[in-house]
Chains A and B, each alone.
Chain A
Amino acid sequence: MSAPRPTTVEVRLPSRLGYEKVAMSTASAVAKLMGFREDRVEDLKTAVAEACINAIEHGNRLNEKLSVGVVLSVDVDSLEVKVIDDGKGMKGRPTKPDIDRKMHGEEDPRGMGMFLIQALVDEAEWVAGSDGKSSYVRLVIRLDKDAA
């Protein structure tokens, strides 16, 4: 008996801020079809939005000739989302924002995207493309997290 075919949904976004909402809506629809709780859907929407914003701003540097790929792969108990751009990959690792340092001007008020991504999903990894482009962030959210 053959294994069921994986379900994949792909979206291509222009590198224009605001279009991350298309990826959010798509991810939300897929997660709801899978039976994720509403609070987990909201977590996923924010993580996907931040990943797309990073891809648009930092990966593709707002170059509208480039697009951002969003690939959603449905598994039995998890949803994987890859957000792919033509950049060299994110430098550094997510760090928890220090609100006191921000309030005192010692840390940029921005720069919370990677932290939010990592904090809101079950797995997050940033992979630099081997050819210096086609980098991606891979997110995984599991269906049974904190199930009642």
Chain B
Amino acid sequence: MQSETKSRIDQLTSPAGRPVAVLRFEGDIASTSKEAVLGTFQSLPKGTAKLVLLDFTKVDYINSSGIALVIQLLIEAANSGQKVAAFGLSAHFTKVFTMVGITKYASLFPGQAAALAAL
């Protein structure tokens, strides 16, 4: 019933010339999305992937279990000295992420260009 979460990694360069790993998600982000969210993040080389962007542009549904996975990702990133930002959330989920405090640990941007420019 829940649509499978797809994820892939793109390697980009910020306008400042820094390498950025972009995790692009597609589908629902729920309790079944652990591998797509945490597994994909954990596949990044921690020594070099210091800037990470989460792309939610193609995500329609995120529930509290999915938000918990994002928080677990942020915990792992903080422990590895990685900086995380996100873009592409709908206005509603931008509000929800702000309500639960995620914005304290990951900046949210409307689109990829703004996110890359801020890194």
Contact = CB atoms under 8 A, between A and B. Distances in A.
Q: Which range contains the number of A residues in contact with the other chain?
A: 20 to 34
Instruction: Tell me if B's interface is mostly helix, strand, loop or mixed.
Output: helix
A35 interface: no
Contacts of A98: 101
Contact of B96 (A17, A46, A99): A46
Contacts, number: 73
Interface string B39-76: 00000000000000000000001011101110110110
Interface residues of B, number: 27
A109 B71 contact: yes
Interface of A: 16-21, 39, 42-43, 46, 49-50, 53, 97-100, 102-103, 105, 108-113, 115-116, 119
17 contacts: A18-B30, A19-B1, A39-B91, A50-B63, A97-B101, A98-B101, A99-B100, A99-B102, A102-B71, A102-B75, A103-B75, A109-B75, A110-B65, A111-B68, A112-B64, A113-B63, A116-B64
